[in-house]
Amino acid sequence: MEDIKQYMKSVGQQARAASRVMAQADTAVKNRALLAIADAILNSSAALIAANAKDIAAAKTNGLDAASVDRLTLTEKTVRGMAEGLQQIATLPDLIGAISEMNYRPSGIQVGKMRVPLGVIGIIYESRPNVTADAAGLCLKSGNAAILRGGSEAIHSNQAIAACVHTGLKAAGLPETAVQVVTTTDRAAVGELITMKEYVDVIVPRGGKSLIARISADAKVPVIKHLDGICHVYIDDEADLVKAIRIADNAKTHRYGVCNAMETLLVHANVAAKVLPELCKIYLDKNVELRGDDAARKLVAQMSAATIDDWRTEYLAPILSVRVVANLDEAIDHINTYSSQHTDSIVTENYSKAMRFLREVDSASVMVNASTRFADGFEYGLGAEIGISTDKIHARGPVGLEGLTSQKYIVLGSGQIRV
């Protein structure tokens, strides 16, 4: 235990020192490092897959479930994907050093802001080795140092990827300590990482809800986190029903296990009889289990009764809860009560109702006439995504490179003093 504390302290100190170098690194140098890491990964494909084989063998011995083994597995294709991801990050604009809003004040000073890295980012994730390359790339491009702590099942894969990252950093003349992959699988290391305020500026946990909830509860360092994705589509009585059915179908059935999938459908009472039977036929044809309130069940025989727990559940599965509401107020009220403040969408042709929904729904992404599935850093044009925040502080919604930065004030004077 004392060893882990010492080890993590030394990791933290090295990260802090490296972060000062990274903050000053030129755009060209950072891009060179990203491309060199991509090259190292491509050149090490066989070695990465061999290291990964050890993790998979151990995982199977330990009885890891098939889905987890699948996420853990590296193939030539996923290795190429990691390299392409890094090459893509290299093409993104460099936000660091950008100066904005420089205005003169009556005192004669000119005041504005400069974008700067946060410093040291701690990323804690489960057993998906490709996150190691992805997270390293995003932290590097945004001028931060990174401490990465992946799932213990992926330890050999992650160390092999770390070697490629270090090769690339070195080739570009950047400190290898700019990206450190924690070498111990001891859980105490996570406890240290999330409480080392002097060495770590922000923690980004990536993974299941229980991991994130545990980290948030114990962290002393600020956490950019994503909890539930309980997303809603509300079909208004003034909706274009063709759009409504397309959107409600897509939001639920495009992918089931994702955070921006719809989990509850709200339908205005005046159009429920017109829209629900047709829409529910689509769901039933795709084997989506339906749970509804009394009004909805009167229209669709195959619907079981929804309980209050259904309104609060992120299924991440082919299950949908359905509620018929009397009006827009009831829809907004339902959403602001049960939504996880992730993404909610209204389908309506009525201008005033669209504006009210946009203003009054208190979620990270609020949409009109679009599928909730669009809530995503790439779809929003951020170029990359480190995660989706359900917090309100610092970053809300899809978090790209900008979420790993801050702004400092800069003042340009010509000898001014305060009088």
Residue (168 or 400) nearer to a second copy, CB: 400
CB of 100 to a second copy, least distance (A): 13
* Rounded distance between C-alpha atoms, residue 225 and residue 206, angstroms: 8
What CA–CA distance (Å, rounded) separates 264 from 229? 11
CB of 115 to a second copy, least distance (A): 11
Nearer to a second copy, 240 or 289 (CB): 240
Nearest to 156 by CA among 181, 123, 174, 189: 181
Is residue 46 classed exposed, middle or buried when 0-12, 13-18 and 19+ CB atoms within 10 A define those classes?
A: exposed
Q: Tell me, what amino acid is at 92? A: L
Q: Judged by CB, which is closer to a second copy: 103, or 287? A: 103
The span from the CA of 300 to the CA of 303, in Å, is 6
Residue whose CB is less far from a second copy, 71 or 394: 394
Given the complex with a second copy, which of 108 and 173 has the nearer CB atom? 108
Structure tokens belonging to residue 4: 């882990």
One-letter amino acid identity for 218?
A: D
Give the span between the Cα atoms of 115 and 397, in whole angstroms: 20
**Are residues 253 and 305 in contact, defined by beta-carbon separation less than 8 angstroms?**
no
Q: Which is nearer to a second copy, 17 or 69 (CB)?
A: 17
Q: What is the smallest separation between the CB atom of 341 and a second copy, expressed in angstroms?
A: 9
Q: Which is nearer to a second copy, 54 or 220 (CB)?
A: 220
Report, in Å, the least distance between residue 98 CB and a second copy. 11
Question: What minimum distance in Å lies between the beta carbon of 354 and a second copy?
Answer: 8
d(CA 236, CA 268): 5
Q: How far is the CB of 222 from a second copy (least distance, A)?
A: 5
**Which residue is it, tokens 């992120």?**
314
What does the block give as tokens for 30? 């950072």
Q: Minimum distance from CB of 413 to a second copy (Å)?
A: 3
C-alpha Rg value of the chain to the nearest Å: 24
- Residues of this chain that interact with a second copy (CB under 8 A) are 20, 23-24, 97, 103, 105, 107, 109, 111, 114, 116, 118-119, 201-202, 222, 240, 242-243, 246-247, 249-251, 254, 336, 345, 358-360, 362-371, 373-375, 379-381, 391-394, 396-398, 406-418
